[in-house]
Structure 1
Amino acid sequence: MIRIQSWKQCAVVLSLGIFLSAGGAWALTPTNVTQVARVTGAGLSGESLPNPNQTHVNYEVMGTDLGILWDKGGGEVFALFGDTFGHGWCGNGGCGGGWRSNVLAKSSDRNLADGLAFSTMIQDASRHAKEILPSKKLDFDEITVIPTAGVTVGSRHYIHYMSVNHWGDAGRWSTNYAGIAYSDDNGQNWVKHASARWPNNATFSNPFQMAAFVKNGGFVYMYATPNGRFGNVFLARVPEGALLNINDYRYWDGNGWSASQAAAVPVVIGVAGELSVVYHPTFGRFLMTYLNEHRQAVVMRDAATPTGPWSGEKILASGARFPGLYNAFIHPWSLTGPDLYFVTSQWTPYNTFLMRATLTADTFGDNLLSEPGFETQAATPTMAPWWVIGQGGVDRGLGQARTGSNEGFVRYNSGWNALKQSVVVQPYTDYTLRGWVRTSANNTEGYFGARGANNGPVVGETPFGSMTNYSQLSVTFNSGPNTIIEVYSGIWARNGDTWMQLDDVSLTRGANLVAQGGFEQQPGSAATSPWYVEGNGGVDRGLGFARSGANNGYVRNNVKSWNALKQEVAVTPNTNYVLSAWVRTSNTFNEGYFGARVLRGGPILNELKLTQPVAGYTQVTAQFNSGTQHSVEIFAGFWANAGDTWLQADDFVLTRN
């Protein structure tokens, strides 16, 4: 592993009581990270950490990694480990004798303040932890089988694993496929399901090779990355009872859920390795942790809904303090307050440790950008997630920041010089970018804005000239067809030595949560993601029927039946919303409904009943509370009771009330 440098953590510390009184769903940041106890292996000379498990003598687990945790039911959690070594372990990294590709422990310990104690480990002989998922142990064939996630549904336990073809350079490896194994005997024996698999491709770039599982709303959400630690994060989901049915998985396409894996787009920009994702009910936030090799730290993101938008990265633990750190698997029983417990691995001494962080309110709120104030940048030149075009870096502790100690800068005597960062966005959605900028007096041509990935088309920007004092710039833009954009602030150096400083940058999503609310981006007459139709209907494209723009949605039928336009929308639990749209109908219309309900035909949250024809476009409104849901289904439809009947709808808006 590359040695890791240190960063400063910036946060506003609020008490749990303030979080709860404010209504939850606050953006979070981790603080006060400490190492609590050793989980596996023998304590080193001079080490004072508690070591409740003594796995080196009790289970012949002398070196191991990972430590994936999930609630297995029955008052226990599973703790699942990767490549494991016993007698003959080399003592430095993953190598030596007594090799098992994976081992599994159980724990009923709820007092994590003094460590994570096992009840037992699954064994194949006395005091010998069992390899639960076998591997061929043949390089460039199947060198090992590594677990990446676990979940329990009912009495059946599931493990997501990867079949590793070859270990390459640090942080890089290739896989044959990812798969799911299951156990029906409390973890003693496991079966690798023959068809619940995601084969890798010839370039070893399939995005569903490593995973994290989260149960929510009757689904299991599967966050995934390609093999290695340098990919983006993708998302799929499946009904809880269908985890082994590969054809029942649906993949997030940026707007909705597609049956095609090829349609999947990132929900988070990597580089990401060894994911862990949980839902924290106290704060109403999903938490995601992973190793970012470029930042040389384990980072955390958070979001109000499974699909995001996910916050920027916040440093959870750096390798400067914990050399060789490379994961953070969250304990599911530490989600009742601000103290977050998680298991980490360190390459040297190739063992696992329990750690604790305190979750506090994030200074920058629901900001989609990582490192917005450059405060945890380790050194110049600028580091990930920002990068420089031309000449620039980070001013560290020079007294020139707007807030905090650091700010980003570019400076040169010619050409284009800019600070940039990539971020995931939802297509055709409004965003606002803000940042504070100041420049040298001779600056005449600066630009602050957003564009498509890889220097793609500009979607919004504002020019600026000389600004001798920090001034806030703001750009509101629509993301267009992009799922990833680059935000930037830069200058053309036209007049000799020219500079720009940038600080406190934010990107926030617009208020309307409905995707393609005006149907303008629908590619054909059949409704496509994120819209879907129940009954008969589609999109009127350029027919002159729209309230605004060129297109509108419609449903129409001449037989007695239910017909509706529908969309799944991510929401925050226990939050009030206002849904509105503009509708008009045929004169045969006499029973229509407009509102929101729980997914998959669940209870109606609220609806407006329409009993009279609407000759001209009229705005309809329904208010509802999301209850415990993270996603709801909005709808506009009717019962065709009197012959040929139609409804046209346009300009849907859903906002928090």
Structure 2
Amino acid sequence: MIHSKPWKTCAVVLSLGAAVHTGEARALTPTNVTKVARVTGATPSGEFLPNPNQTHTNYEVMGTDLGILWDKGGGEIFALFGDTFGHGWCGNGGCGGGWRSNVLAKSSDRTLADGLTFSTMIQDTSRHAKELLYSKKIDNDEITVIPTAGVTVGSRHYIHYMSVRHWGDPGKWDTNYAGIAYSDDNGQNWVKHASARWQNNAARTNPFQMAAFVKNGGYVYLYATPNGRFGNVYLARVLEGALLNINDYRYWDGNGWSASQAAAAPVVMGIAGELSVDYHTGFNRFLMTYLNEHRQAVVMRDAATPTGPWSGEKILAAGTSFPGLYNAFIHPWSLSGADMYFVTSQWTPYNTFLMRATLTDDAFSDNLLSEPGFETQAATPVMAPWWLVGNGGVDRGVGQARTGRNEGFVRYNSGWNALKQSVAVQPHTDYTLRGWVRTSANSTEGYFGARGVGNGPIVGEVPFGSLTNYSQLTVTFNSGPNSILEVYGGIWAKNGDTWMQLDDVSLTRGANLVGQGGFEQQPGATATSPWYVEGKGGVDRGLGFTRSGANNGWVRNDVPGWNALKQEVAVTPNTQYTLSAWVKTSNTLNEGYFGARMLRGGPILNELKLTQPLGGYTQLSVRFNSGANHSVEIFAGVWANNGDTWLQADDFVMTRD
């Protein structure tokens, strides 16, 4: 990319040890990060890294960035780069002569311990890497076209790219649109599809301008951010065969999949730039990496399912060790063992490098909060991803932490003083927040809890007074309509100099995986996300037909055929689950079913068959194994074979055994 120099310094945390735990999806953390080899450019004096590609002489690639990697089939990967310079390169960042907006390499190298060796690069003349996607190279019109992701489906290859209008301040740029290009000749030539595009808006805030692709379960998942490096992460998906059909994309709205892009809700809170997402088959976890400018580091998150919940950030590589680092594109062939390889860029010397991290079990497990113990905070008062209201900071190595070396604190003689962090959540879902708090003896009014963004409504909190020793506080709450929440711990200083210390904070999702299992949050009589209906059905709102609460779901028909309430639920592969719900039916029922199956009408995983009417609410329960799936479809329905037939259902619960 041609853009301003990024940050210079930040913190890094390293630890040792690793093991691959197959079968169970465990939370992970990266450790022991090392630079393995140079991928592009010439070796400067004093550098002793392997440099297998010698791209400066072999392909006139003297300076470049990115290095997006994906399996292209045929025993090769593609390695896709951004703004590239040859003879006349300025030698310090993205500038100079021989400019191509994007170039592409191939590799069949599976021995990554000594570097990433190219088979070749796509060339337009001998020993000259070809520009794949044309750009106007006119500032405030289209200054460049930068690739952000790649994927292969069958024999067709796809590139997600952004049309950059203007480079702005460090980490900021404007795009015209994002689009998809494709190649049917093994990457030699590419076509920008005319309608497979996400147009940016006048405010330059469209959330689908930079992307990462992941294939899973017959879909291509598209993780995306707005232009620049300061947005949240959003998610869409499309069937593998429909990548170029923009109207076929469905957007994650926090509960389910919507046809409306405007309904998209974050799956991860930024600050995020240059995404990479892939699936680790050894650990059964999805991995996400990106640059967080505020933390001045490339970070990693992980999740058991594509929609999350995603863990908090863990530092993968940082500027103190690798100055000017700004991406980490995961190598798809390094995702079965403990060692994960990835390609990174450094602004100076504006080239790319292969790096390695060892993945180990995360002591904080499925914690959704980043920096829970404040251990990788760079320096007081640097707080990201936490932020401060009032006065406070981070105690670093002063012997006041509950565990580790650091803890957060607030301290002042008046007013509200608090530590806060934003987190993406699923609406209308149960969560548990925990943290360890200690205060001064004169503290009389403190609060620990969660609320809507911008000091929005409180969804749960616990008050506390003076806590002379670290005490664990616990808040269980429902997220309500929110897809983003602020967690906080703070005190009102009313008695002179007053302080609070906070450490080891965690947020975890409740056990029930069914969204809106009691239908209480459904806005109308028509079932909406996350519920959907096959045949005829909807929601009874306040009609007195429920098992509990005000609402229930229903299906009813007097025409022969299948009628069902359905919901897609994210699961961990090869895991046992129990699904239950309360159901009653008309006395005409003679064939009904309750259970779980694979998506899109796939095989049944397990079900109960109903052959007799249920005159009153009766709890039904089935156990099933998720198999190789990351999502399943749960259902309760009837065949209307005997005249007017109906089913009512309420209080769905699905838990991992």
TM-score w.r.t. length of structure 1: 0.99
Aligned to 2:647: 647
Give the whole-Å Cα distance in 2 for the aligned partners of 1:8 and 1:494: 38
1:38-49 paired onto structure 2 within 5 Å: 38-49=38-49
Aligned to 1:477: 477
Give the whole-Å Cα distance in 2 for the aligned partners of 1:645 and 1:117: 65
Task: Give the conservation status (yes or no) of the 8 Å contact 1:374–1:503.
Answer: yes
- The answer to whether the aligner puts 1:611 opposite 2:615 as a matched pair is no
1:53-102 C-alpha deviation (Å, 9 max, x unpaired): 00000000000000000000000000000000000000000000000000
Flag structure 2 segments of 5+ consecutive residues without an equivalent: none
Distance 1:445 1:382, change over 3 A: farther
Aligned to 2:465: 465
The SS at the match of 1:354 is: strand
Give the whole-Å Cα distance in 1 for the aligned partners of 2:37 and 2:603: 46
Give the whole-Å Cα distance in 2 for the aligned partners of 1:512 and 1:250: 24
Q: Which letter does structure 2 place at the counterpart of 1:105? A: A
Give the whole-Å Cα distance in 2 for the aligned partners of 1:271 and 1:613: 54
Give the whole-Å Cα distance in 2 for the aligned partners of 1:9 and 1:167: 32
Task: Give the conservation status (yes or no) of the 8 Å contact 2:15–2:32.
Answer: no
Task: Give the conservation status (yes or no) of the 8 Å contact 1:200–1:209.
Answer: yes
Aligned to 1:590: 590
The SS at the match of 1:113 is: helix
Aligned to 1:513: 513
- The answer to whether the aligner puts 1:236 opposite 2:232 as a matched pair is no
Give the whole-Å Cα distance in 1 for the aligned partners of 2:206 and 2:503: 37
Task: Give the conservation status (yes or no) of the 8 Å contact 2:11–2:297.
Answer: no
- The answer to whether the aligner puts 1:193 opposite 2:193 as a matched pair is yes
CA drift at 1:222: 0.1
CA drift at 1:383: 1.6
The SS at the match of 1:241 is: helix
Aligned to 1:312: 312
CA drift at 1:27: 0.1
Aligned to 1:432: 432
Distance 1:55 1:8, change over 3 A: closer
1:15-69 C-alpha deviation (Å, 9 max, x unpaired): 22xx23xx42000000000000000000111100000000000000000000000
1:311-331 C-alpha deviation (Å, 9 max, x unpaired): 000000001110100000000
CA drift at 1:382: 3.8
Aligned to 2:19: 15
The SS at the match of 1:399 is: coil
1:145-169 C-alpha deviation (Å, 9 max, x unpaired): 0000000000000000000000111
The SS at the match of 1:247 is: helix
The SS at the match of 2:385 is: coil
Task: Give the conservation status (yes or no) of the 8 Å contact 1:5–1:378.
Answer: no
Give the whole-Å Cα distance in 2 for the aligned partners of 1:421 and 1:564: 40
1:364-386 C-alpha deviation (Å, 9 max, x unpaired): 00000000000000111142100
Aligned to 1:124: 124
The SS at the match of 2:151 is: strand
Aligned to 2:279: 279
- The answer to whether the aligner puts 1:301 opposite 2:301 as a matched pair is yes
Aligned to 1:636: 636
- The answer to whether the aligner puts 1:396 opposite 2:400 as a matched pair is no
The SS at the match of 2:614 is: coil
Give the whole-Å Cα distance in 1 for the aligned partners of 2:209 and 2:650: 40
Aligned to 1:380: 380
Aligned to 1:363: 363
Superposed CA RMSD in Å reads 0.8
Residue-pair matches, total:
653
Give the whole-Å Cα distance in 1 for the aligned partners of 2:519 and 2:96: 60
Give the whole-Å Cα distance in 2 for the aligned partners of 1:637 and 1:31: 49
Aligned to 1:453: 453
Aligned to 1:335: 335
CA drift at 1:10: 6.4
Task: Give the conservation status (yes or no) of the 8 Å contact 1:11–1:29.
Answer: no
Q: Which letter does structure 2 place at the counterpart of 1:173? A: W
Give the whole-Å Cα distance in 2 for the aligned partners of 1:5 and 1:494: 38
Q: Which letter does structure 2 place at the counterpart of 1:155? A: S
CA drift at 1:454: 1.0
- The answer to whether the aligner puts 1:490 opposite 2:515 as a matched pair is no
Give the whole-Å Cα distance in 1 for the aligned partners of 2:82 and 2:335: 25
The SS at the match of 2:241 is: helix
Give the whole-Å Cα distance in 1 for the aligned partners of 2:253 and 2:138: 36
Task: Give the conservation status (yes or no) of the 8 Å contact 2:171–2:228.
Answer: yes
Q: Which letter does structure 2 place at the counterpart of 1:656? A: R
Give the whole-Å Cα distance in 1 for the aligned partners of 2:456 and 2:14: 32
1:373-419 C-alpha deviation (Å, 9 max, x unpaired): 00000111142100010000000000000000000000000000000
Give the whole-Å Cα distance in 1 for the aligned partners of 2:6 and 2:304: 34
Q: Which letter does structure 2 place at the counterpart of 1:471? A: S
Give the whole-Å Cα distance in 1 for the aligned partners of 2:245 and 2:612: 45
- The answer to whether the aligner puts 1:54 opposite 2:58 as a matched pair is no
CA drift at 1:14: 4.2
Q: Which letter does structure 2 place at the counterpart of 1:481? A: P
Give the whole-Å Cα distance in 2 for the aligned partners of 1:206 and 1:400: 44
The SS at the match of 1:312 is: coil
Task: Give the conservation status (yes or no) of the 8 Å contact 1:299–1:313.
Answer: yes
1:116-143 C-alpha deviation (Å, 9 max, x unpaired): 0000000000000000101000010000
1:125-164 paired onto structure 2 within 5 Å: 125-164=125-164
- The answer to whether the aligner puts 1:541 opposite 2:532 as a matched pair is no
Task: Give the conservation status (yes or no) of the 8 Å contact 2:568–2:633.
Answer: yes
Give the whole-Å Cα distance in 2 for the aligned partners of 1:24 and 1:527: 34
- The answer to whether the aligner puts 1:63 opposite 2:67 as a matched pair is no
Q: Which letter does structure 1 place at the counterpart of 2:488? A: Y
The SS at the match of 1:277 is: strand
Give the whole-Å Cα distance in 1 for the aligned partners of 2:594 and 2:118: 53
Aligned to 1:267: 267
Flag structure 1 segments of 5+ consecutive residues without an equivalent: none
Task: Give the conservation status (yes or no) of the 8 Å contact 1:109–1:116.
Answer: yes
Task: Give the conservation status (yes or no) of the 8 Å contact 2:271–2:293.
Answer: yes
The SS at the match of 1:372 is: coil
Give the whole-Å Cα distance in 1 for the aligned partners of 2:381 and 2:102: 40
The SS at the match of 1:407 is: strand
CA drift at 1:588: 0.1
CA drift at 1:336: 1.2
Distance 1:127 1:2, change over 3 A: closer
Give the whole-Å Cα distance in 2 for the aligned partners of 1:236 and 1:101: 26
CA drift at 1:343: 0.2
The SS at the match of 2:202 is: coil
CA drift at 1:2: 4.6
Distance 1:11 1:597, change over 3 A: farther
Task: Give the conservation status (yes or no) of the 8 Å contact 2:18–2:358.
Answer: no
Q: Which letter does structure 1 place at the counterpart of 2:105? A: A
Task: Give the conservation status (yes or no) of the 8 Å contact 1:13–1:361.
Answer: no
Seq. identity, %: 84
Aligned to 2:26: 26
Q: Which letter does structure 2 place at the counterpart of 1:383? A: M
CA drift at 1:4: 3.6
1:235-265 C-alpha deviation (Å, 9 max, x unpaired): 0000000000001000000000000000001
Task: Give the conservation status (yes or no) of the 8 Å contact 1:8–1:375.
Answer: no
Distance 1:181 1:2, change over 3 A: closer
Q: Which letter does structure 2 place at the counterpart of 1:455? A: N
Q: Which letter does structure 1 place at the counterpart of 2:653? A: V
Give the whole-Å Cα distance in 2 for the aligned partners of 1:317 and 1:105: 25
